[in-house]
Every structure is written in C-alpha cells, then in structure tokens.
Amino acid sequence: MAELHSQGKPAISIELGGICHTMPHDFRSDGQILSNSFWNILYHYKMAEGNAEYENEWFTGSQVSVLAEQSGLWVAEEDFEFLKPTKKGKVLARIYSIYGEELEQIKAPCDGMPFGLRTTPVTHAGDWGVFYAKLDGKITKLARASH
C-alpha cells in the first residue's frame, strides 16, 4: 500500500472478516459483502455500469487498540456486542490465571464502540484484545465525489 501511495496510485487493502469471522457462514457472508463493496466502488467511479449505493450516516473517529497488560486466559464478557455504543469504563473482557484468579479487567477506554475482539483464549501481556472506535461525530450527508 505504501509503495502504491508513493507512486500516486490508488489501492484498496482489505481484511476478510479477520479471525473473528472464520466460521464458514461468517466467511461466506464477509466474502459477499466484500464483493458487493468492490462493485459499488466500480459503480461510484463509473468503471462499471450500475448505480452506487451510499450509507445515510457515517461515523468519524479513530481506532484505539486495547492491549492486555497481563498474560493469562482471555474471556470476553457475556454481554459483549460489536458496533454498539459503549460507555468508558465498561468491562469488555477479563484475563484469568490458570487457577481462575482474575488478573485484569479489560475496559472500554472511552465512549465509543468495539469492532474487533480477541477470539483466542491464551493472551500475553501486550497482545491486542479489543479494537475500539473512539467516535468524534457523525456525518449524515456524505458529499459524493465526482470522478
């Protein structure tokens, strides 16, 4: 991506659902979303015949990676939900010792929403645990680029 950018060439980088979506149904669904998205981009830039579709509302913000401070067994909270507004300080997951002692609570770092969650149970200090969106606002009318 960096090399293409340095040459002034557009590029798209994707992750097909990540480790959170490796079950066959999720993987196929993500593949269909990816395919539809690529076609939508082609429609937008008039590279293919068809009408692009646009969301009515977009969030603005930045990604925060919530890292584990302890090594142990990673267990997400039962009420964990992706892409749901979450208040700062809400416990998202816990890390336990092999003896069942709670070593750490993984908390929402700010108001926002989680969009990625560690799915492997063994975690080491410094591993990512939650990808979290710090929301700055919303755009309700997206300006359509004319290319």
Residue 19: CB atoms within 10 A of its CB come to 11
Strand partners, 117: 130
β-pair type (102-107, 112-117): unpaired
pLDDT (tens digit per residue) in 29-76: 888 888 999 899 999 999 999 999 998 888 889 999 999 999 999 999
Mean pLDDT calculated for residue range 73-90: 94
Mean pLDDT calculated for residue range 84-99: 96
pTM of the model: 0.70
Q: What is the pLDDT of residue 15?
A: 67
pLDDT of residue 19 exceeding 70, the answer is no
Distance between CA 121 and CA 6 in Å, rounded? 39
pLDDT of residue 18 exceeding 60, the answer is yes
- 17 pLDDT tier (thresholds 50, 70, 90): low
| Exposure string over 84-123, b if 16+ CB within 10 A, otherwise e | eebeeeeebbbbbeeeeeeebebbbbeebbbebbbeeeeb
Q: What is the pLDDT of residue 3?
A: 84
- At 70, is the secondary structure helix, strand, or coil? coil
Q: Which two tokens stand for residue 81?
A: 């939900």
List, in order of start, the domains of the chain with CATH numbers. 2-54 (no CATH), 58-138 (2.40.50.100)
pLDDT of residue 21 exceeding 80, the answer is no
